[in-house]
Amino acid sequence: MIMDTPIQIEERLWDYIDGLSSPAEQSAIEALLAENLEWQRKYKELLNIHQEMQETELDAPSMRFSKNVMEEIARLQVAPATKTYINKNVIRSIGAFFLAMIAGFLVYCLGQFKWSASGSSSTFLPRYDLDLDTKMRAFNWGKIFSSGYTTVFMLVLVILALVMLDMYLQRKKHQTT
């Protein structure tokens, strides 16, 4: 029979004291407590600590505590429940947008691999297009960022940001009045 280490004895006894042991384990511990002095000593020790902790009183704040809280909340109102002003459809749409972006990026990346198996080898590993780096370097990025489309896109973003800022400030104003 394998002997329990002191830590294991403590763990089993804590479970027993907390009432978390299975019925079989409870019977086994009760048998050990009936005949084993070491277990009896440990049980008494843990039980005393357990009772002390149960009887320990909570710390109390100052006498004025609840009055202070009530004075503080007197000028406040309960905020509406989060679910009433968070539109789940908006969250779903944002999630769908990011998922679509990730999926598009993955499809683009996978499209850069050449999926042909080389020779008679049975291994089927994608071959990275080594020429891609050269192509990327040769690509004229300046052309994209100076095009009319990008300017329009940036303008739309700025307008959207301003509209959202305006909405936020309006809501703040309503809350304070």
Partner 1 sequence: MLHTGLTDIELISKVLQGEQALFAQLVERYQNYVFTLVLRFTDSREDAEEISQDIFVKAYRSLADFRGESKFSTWLYTIVRTSCITFLRKKRLDITSLDNERTFLQLENQESGFKANTIEQKSRHAMVNKAIRLLSPDDAQLITLFYKGEQSLEEIGRVMGLEPNTVKVKLHRARHRLKEKMEKYFSHEVREIQGE
Residues of this chain that bind partner 1 (CB under 8 A): 7, 10-11, 14-15, 20, 44-46, 48-49, 52-62, 65-66, 68-70, 72-74, 76, 78-82
Nearer to partner 1, 24 or 70 (CB): 70
H or E stretch covering 13 = helix 6-18
Is 75 or 173 the residue whose CB approaches partner 1 more closely? 75
The structure tokens listed for 12 are 């089993």
DSSP state of 86: S
User: Which of 114, 160, 167, 109 has its CA nearest to residue 136?
Assistant: 109
CB atoms inside a 10 Å sphere around CB 93: 11
Minimum CB–partner distance for residue 46 and partner 1 (Å): 8
Which one, 35 or 52, has the nearer CB to partner 1?
A: 52
Q: Whole-number minimum distance, CB 23 to partner 1, in Å?
A: 18
Alpha-carbon dihedral of residues 16, 20, 21, 23, nearest 10 degrees? 110
Whole-number minimum distance, CB 42 to partner 1, in Å?
11
